[in-house]
Amino acid sequence: ACTHLKKAISIFPRQTNALFLLGKYLTLEGSYEEAMDYLRQYNLLKPYNADAYRILGYCAYKLGNLEIASDSFKRSLGLRWENPAVLYNQVQILMKQGHKMEAKKLVEYFAQMAPGHYLLGKLRDRYDL
């Protein structure tokens, strides 16, 4: 699929669906840096897709760039606050950065939004929040 999507993008570089799908599939392959390049191109053309920022944040997180990951997750949450996976990842980043109070506030919001969500339980088990 990635080969065909790259070929499509070479013909029509502003095709947003192909850019997004390629970024998503490259992420699944573990090609995080390449995925980030395509997702950034996508975000320049279509900046209101919370999932694109979520995937971009995940790639940055996997590469160890917590600043870009956090920024991407914040953008995703700014577009769609009710995303448990992004809330979970953002709390983990905040804890790694030593921002326990900010992480605690986010966990409290998470608990109001989805009180029985399994990711909330994982956060509470992992951190004393």
Contacts of 72 (CB under 8 A, 6+ apart): 53, 54, 56, 57, 60
3-state SS, 51-119, equals HHHHHHHHHHHHCCCHHHHHHHHHHHHHHCCCCHHHHHHHHHHHHHCCCHHHHHHHHHHHHHHCCCCHH
The pLDDT assigned to 127 comes to 86
Rounded average pLDDT over 110-114: 92
How far apart, in whole angstroms, are the C-alpha atoms of residue 39 and residue 110? 27
Percent of residues, the chain, with pLDDT higher than 90: 86
Residue 129 has pLDDT above 80, yes or no: no
The pLDDT assigned to 70 comes to 96
CA angle, 111 then 71 then 66, to 5°: 90
CB atoms within 10 A of CB 118: 10
CB atoms within 10 A of CB 81: 13
Q: How confident is the model at residue 4 (pLDDT cuts 50, 70, 90)?
A: confident
The per-residue pLDDT for range 18-61, each reduced to its tens digit, is 999 999 999 999 999 999 999 999 999 999 999 999 999 999 99
The per-residue pLDDT for range 62-96, each reduced to its tens digit, is 999 999 999 999 999 999 988 999 999 999 999 99
Tell me which H or E stretch contains 33.
helix 32-45
Residue 104 has pLDDT above 80, yes or no: yes
Rounded average pLDDT over 104-114: 93
Rounded average pLDDT over 108-116: 92
How far apart, in whole angstroms, are the C-alpha atoms of residue 36 and residue 13? 16
Q: Say which amino acid occupies 40.
A: R
The pLDDT assigned to 125 comes to 87
CB atoms within 10 A of CB 7: 10
1 vs 36 pLDDT, higher one: 36
